[in-house]
Every structure is written in structure tokens, then in C-alpha cells.
Structure 1
């Protein structure tokens, strides 16, 4: 295989075309997200002057309220051009992002944060519909994986840029950080509008009445996927606290762990996504994700059993295993959410999937800090067992979902049963 062929096989950069345009828009958007994620807490506490507890409470409340926009905006994306809708939402997000500069009190902060969260959660559903429209049924999981890899690059770049504002620790620095975040929404919206109009998929008369929230078999698959999705709390919250309080590793190890996860995500996401060709393959990959994540959960607590060198090695090894499990889950979750959705209701089904995932991730911080930090090794083992069990039931639940119309057998007028 040529060097160019090898690069294309592993690179997250898509070839020229609509997906590349979407990737540039994602890159711009996620640079802003990286800026905001890295600097929001200090901006709100040091520049605005809000207590840290108020910031945490406000963001939690806003995040939970924001989830309510996932399904309605997903439904809207199914009935309208998702390209234009995403661009419009990003213009609104730019205005909301800039309005953080007007925040001077907790009520004002909560209002802005709630509107921000509503737009963000709804836009995820719209983005999923847009990706499906751009890539088509055969390429949407690969496109999702490509954009996830690009997003990691953007967030990392944004977080690095935020370091300049954090180092300055001045009102001017924080103002530039906020405005930089707002600007990236405008750039992304402009890039998205370079795509051609994308008309909605015609509604299937036989399934027009069905909604994702009433599709019990889809909800069952999405629920187990959401349980596994809570693993993101482990790396983002629990592992840094574990390193700081339960091991002899220096604090800089937290950065090494997160960088390891980011680098592997960028280079392995597209590669791993190639195995998810249909719902059955996605279900098998979800089962694999449960096992691999469980192995990582069993490795992390062993890091407290040895000296500094051994601890760092085990932490990095566990993170490598964790990242592979994370990528298995992400691609499998996208595959199932797309493949089990009705063709004319992609946005709506993605919205429901995002709603369940968001709820699981909202519960995760309180539950996992109690289970893993206070529960010790036993807590890690319990969660590992839960993840294995969750992965094991996914193929059966997926087969059951595939057996319903229009994926399974359909009884047409006249009574003869034919493949759907």
C-alpha cells in the first residue's frame, strides 16, 4: 500500500466534497467549544464574580433543561432543510455566546445558560440529521466518526488557545475568549451554508404515525447505549480525582491521560468505524465496547497498588484500553441510532437517543464519584459488571428492534407476508 493510501486510511481528514465542507464547519465550531470548555469556569468566577457553587448549579440545571430541545428540534430537522436549520441555530448560538459578557448576576447567568443549553442540545439532533443527509445511509456512520475525530482536534486546539486567556487572567483576556467562541459559530454557519439545500426524506405512509418516543424497541436499545455512554464521566471526572487522591502519580499525569485519549481518538475513530456496516454489526460492536470498557475499569484501580512509575504505566495502559472501548461505543451507538430510525425521522430518533444519553451522563457524576471513589475497588468491579451485562444484551434487543416494520416482516393489504 502506498504512503498516500496509508495516510488516507488513518487520517480523519475527508476527501474533497460535502463531507469536507462539513468537517471544516465542525472544526471551526469545536475550536470555540474548546475555548469555552477550558475557560468558562474561570471566566464566570474570576471575571463575572459568581461563586463556584452557583456556576456548578446553574450549568447542571441548564443542562437538564436543555435536553428538552433534543426531540422537538430533531423533528423539525426531519421536516425542513437541516443545513439551513443548523446554520440558523448557530447564528443564535453566536448571539447567546456573546451575551455571556452581559452577565452580572446569577439570575442573568442562569437565563443565558438555559438558552445556550437548549440551542446546544437541539443542534446536536439537527447535526445528526444533517450528517445523514450529506453522507447517505451507506456513509453516515463513517461520516459521524470522521467528524468526531475532527471535533477532537478542534476542541484540543481551542483549549490550548484558552490557555492564553487563562494565563492573562484579565477582563480583556476573558472577553476575547468569549468573543472568540461566538465568532466560531459564525464561521461554522457560513461553511454549513456552502452545502447544497437538503430536502427532507418523504414520509412513509405506513409509519407516518410512529414517533421515536413511542417506539419501545428503539427506546430499549437506546437505553442500554445510554448506560454505556455514561463511561465518559469516568475519564472526564473520576480518573482525574482518582489520580489526585488515590495514587502517588504527579498531577501532570492527568494531562498525559487526557492527551493520550485525544490522540488515539483522532487516529483510530475513522478506522474503527469501518466495522459498523449495519445494525447487526453495530450491536456486536456495542457488546465488544462493554467488555473493553470493563477491562479498563478493572485496570484503573490497580494503579494505586504500585509505586509512581508503575502507577503512571497502569494509568496510561488503562486509558489506551478505555479509549478503544469508547470508540467502539461511539461508532456502535451512532450506527444503531441511524440504522434503527425510520428513514423520514432521522432527526427525531437521534434526538431521543441524545436525550437518553444526556440523562445518563447527567446522573453519572454524582453516582460514579460515590461508587468509584468512595466504593474503592469493589465499586470499579460493580460498574465493570454492569457494562459487560449492558453490552451482552444489546444484540438481542437490536434483533428485536429489527423485527418490527419496516425493518422486519410487513403485512401488506391482501394478507401475504413479505420481507420489509
Structure 2
């Protein structure tokens, strides 16, 4: 089987004008432009409320920090496996109507936050939001499979990730104004604005043109398909777990490093903000799209995940070295480790997108993406406790343990993907390049 090579990136001529260079930030395809707009709305709304949710529940509603933490944990557990059910619904009824309904539900629940006046109301609201919001992740990924061509899907998702980072940054900047005002009115305004963003994004989803639905894949296939095959697909579940381990890096960046810097190093506290800005700038504007272009088939995705795990291990060792260094050298080593971590992050994102689609049954894409993103949710929940129990509690030994965990996970992708490829020929979409096919790609 031969495959159509991915189109070469359209680079500007040396004498290109400045507007032409900036025009490359706007996607050429109408579908990706629509996806960019709805992603912009969704991410901007999340950025508005991301820095203030806990403070709203504690300072405005009047709940204790402990009760809020317990409630959010319970909500996360309730939403953990909801994505699998939502994925099954998207396979049956289509990803567009299901995602539209889920995002409208997110908007309604977010608006209800403004009415919370008791712990019972808080618990019901956050559980409902966790269920519909976590369900939407896998369905959204299934939607990308329906509306974007496989050859351009990776680069498209890289562009959408850039849009997400920029939009959340802008929303977060406005959210800080509400934190400064610290009034119920300011918080309420941003909560309702986020609800409106969910509703606007949902309406844009409904207008997307579908390339190829799951129902069409099933109709074109001679082999029977089980609606719940993903939950029994051991090779795919193995890849999901390995990917979830690499996802732990986000907890390392958001929770582990701030605690480590403040408690275990002599680095100034502004180093936390420096690393966060560096991560966003490199990942969103310089690296993600470029690296994703080079991870366009299954063997390259496996190599990317392996390199990501090893780089994460190297970053952990760099962070461990900062204990006991002078403030200047601590900042220098932290920056080196952070740059290594950014490369690991973009490699794992690009490789993870390719694996998530290529190893899924195209006839049950919704359920497969729901299972895959349940691994994200599980890692997000377990990450803070794991990072704290290792690096923060045990210092250098804990960082070494994390380095071994990340490295082993990265190296585990090659045998896991070989297992998945031997499991059957139904995986992936027609025309998707698999190991050993055209283009000289060998087995990973």
C-alpha cells in the first residue's frame, strides 16, 4: 500500500514580506480555521476562570480549602470513565451532536456556579461539570478524526495546541483582574463569560463539515465490530497507560517544580514564573508545529515517545542537581532542565496524537479516544500525589525514581506498539501508513 506523502510546508521566500510571514499563523484550510476559532473560544473561556476557581469557592462561596479539595477529587473520580460512555455515544450518533451537547452542558453547569451557596450545591455542580467536561476530551479527539484528513491531522492538532496556549494565556491575564478586584461581581462576570464561550464553541462545532463518520467506516467494513472493543484491547490499553505516565510531566511542571524551587533550592521565587513563561513560549510558538511535522507516521511516533521519556528522565536529573546550588546556578540549571522538558513535552504530544489515532479501530473511534483520554484524566488526578511523594518528599532519590519511570515508559512504547500491530489488521484508517509499508519505514 502506498500513501500520499504529507504536503511540504509552504515556506516563505527570503524576500517575503512581514505580512506574508504573519499570514502563516492563520491556517489556509477552512476546516482548520473553524477549528481554530472554536478552540480559541473554548481555551479563552477556560483561561478566564483557571486561576480563580479555588479562590471563588473559598473566598466568595465560603467553603474551606480542605472541603474544596475533597470535592474536586470526588468530581474527578466521577468523570474519570465518563469519556468512554460519551465516546460510545459519539460512535453511534456522531461526534458533532455529542460534543455540541457536552459543551452546552459545560456552559450551563458553569453558569450554575454563580448560584452555589452550600457544600451540597458545590459538590453537585463540580461533579456534573467534571463528567461533561472530561467526557468532551475524547469526543473532541474523535471529531478531529472525522473532520481532518489523516495526512494533515498531526500538524493541525499542533496548530490548535498553539491556539490553546495563546488563548488561555490571554484569558488568564484577564482572570488576574478579577483576582485583583476580589469581589463576587468580578468572579460572577468571568464565570458567565466562560459559560458563553462554551456555548459559542458548541455552536461552531455543529457547523463543521464531516469528512468521514464512524458509521461510514462500519458500513464499509466486512468485519464485525464490537462497540466496547477498546476497553478489552490490551495492547491499546498498554499504550494508554504508558502515555499517561508521560502525561505526569504536566503535574511535575505545574506542582512539583514550584514546590521544589520554593522548598528545596535557593533559587528566587520568580524562577517559577520564568519557567512557566519559557515553557509556553517554546511549546506554543517555536517547537510544537515544527516537531509535529516530522512525526507523521507510526514508526516516527514510537521513536518520538521513546526520546520523550529519556529526555524527561534527563530533565528530572537536572532538577535534582539544583538542591544546594547558589541562586544564580540554580536558575541556570533549572532553565536547562526546563528546556529539556519542553522538547520532551512536544515530542510526547506529537507522538501521542499519532498513536492515539493509528492504533484505534476507525469503526469505534469515539470509544477508543474516550479510553485514551481517560489515561490523561487518571494521570492528571494521580500526578500531584505521585510527584509530591517522590521528588518533594525524598529529594534526589525521588527525582531519580521519576527519571527511571519516565525513561522506562518511553522505551516501553516500541514493544507495546509491535504487540498492537500484531493484534490485527483492523487498526487505523484506510490509507494510514503502517510500519513496513511504503516510504521505506521499517518496524519501530
Which runs of structure 2 are paired with 1:327-406 in the superposition (5 Å)?
327-406=346-425
Q: Which residue of structure 2 aligns with residue 194 of structure 1?
A: 207
Q: Is the 8 A contact 2:236 2:359 kept in 1?
A: yes
Deviation at 1:175, TM superposition (A): 0.9
191-200 or 340-349, which moves further after superposition? 191-200
Q: 1:8 to 1:224 in 2, by over 3 A?
A: farther
| Matching of residue 296 in structure 1 with residue 311 in structure 2 | no
- Residue from 227, 250, 253 that aligns with 2:271: 253
Partners of 1:244 and 1:237 in 2: CA distance? 11
Deviation at 1:171, TM superposition (A): 1.0
Q: 1:68 to 1:381 in 2, by over 3 A?
A: same
Q: Which residue of structure 1 aligns with residue 66 of structure 2?
A: 53
Partners of 2:17 and 2:368 in 1: CA distance? 36
Q: Deviations over 1:200-234 (max 9, x none)?
A: 33313424126101111111111111111112110
Q: Which residue of structure 1 aligns with residue 75 of structure 2?
A: 62
* Count of aligned positions: 409
- Residue from 237, 247, 252 that aligns with 1:229: 247
Q: Which residue of structure 2 aligns with residue 287 of structure 1?
A: 306
Partners of 2:54 and 2:113 in 1: CA distance? 12
Unaligned runs of 5+ in 1: 409-418
Partners of 1:307 and 1:160 in 2: CA distance? 32
Q: Which residue of structure 1 aligns with residue 13 of structure 2?
A: 2
Q: CA RMSD in A?
A: 2.0
Q: Which residue of structure 2 aligns with residue 141 of structure 1?
A: 154
Unaligned runs of 5+ in 2: 1-11, 428-436, 438-444
Q: Is the 8 A contact 1:97 1:182 kept in 2?
A: yes
Deviation at 1:276, TM superposition (A): 1.7
Partners of 1:179 and 1:407 in 2: CA distance? 45
Q: Is the 8 A contact 2:147 2:209 kept in 1?
A: no
- Residue from 90, 97, 119 that aligns with 1:84: 97
Q: Which residue of structure 2 aligns with residue 415 of structure 1?
A: none
Partners of 1:251 and 1:328 in 2: CA distance? 28
134-143 or 15-24, which moves further after superposition? 134-143
329-338 or 298-307, which moves further after superposition? 298-307
Q: Deviations over 1:145-164 (max 9, x none)?
A: 22111111111111111011
Q: Is the 8 A contact 1:11 1:270 kept in 2?
A: no
| Matching of residue 263 in structure 1 with residue 278 in structure 2 | no
Q: Which residue of structure 2 aligns with residue 110 of structure 1?
A: 123
Please give the TM-score of this superposition, normalised by the length of structure 1.
Answer: 0.93
Deviation at 1:324, TM superposition (A): 0.9
Q: Is the 8 A contact 1:212 1:349 kept in 2?
A: yes
Q: Deviations over 1:265-290 (max 9, x none)?
A: 11211111112222222111100101
Deviation at 1:52, TM superposition (A): 0.9
Deviation at 1:304, TM superposition (A): 2.4
Q: Is the 8 A contact 2:175 2:190 kept in 1?
A: yes
Q: Deviations over 1:274-327 (max 9, x none)?
A: 122222221111001011111111111222232111111221221111011011
Please give the TM-score of this superposition, normalised by the length of structure 2.
Answer: 0.88
Q: Deviations over 1:313-367 (max 9, x none)?
A: 2212211110110111111111111000011111211111111232133122112
| Matching of residue 219 in structure 1 with residue 234 in structure 2 | no
Partners of 2:314 and 2:80 in 1: CA distance? 31
- Residue from 111, 122, 129 that aligns with 1:98: 111
Partners of 2:275 and 2:393 in 1: CA distance? 22
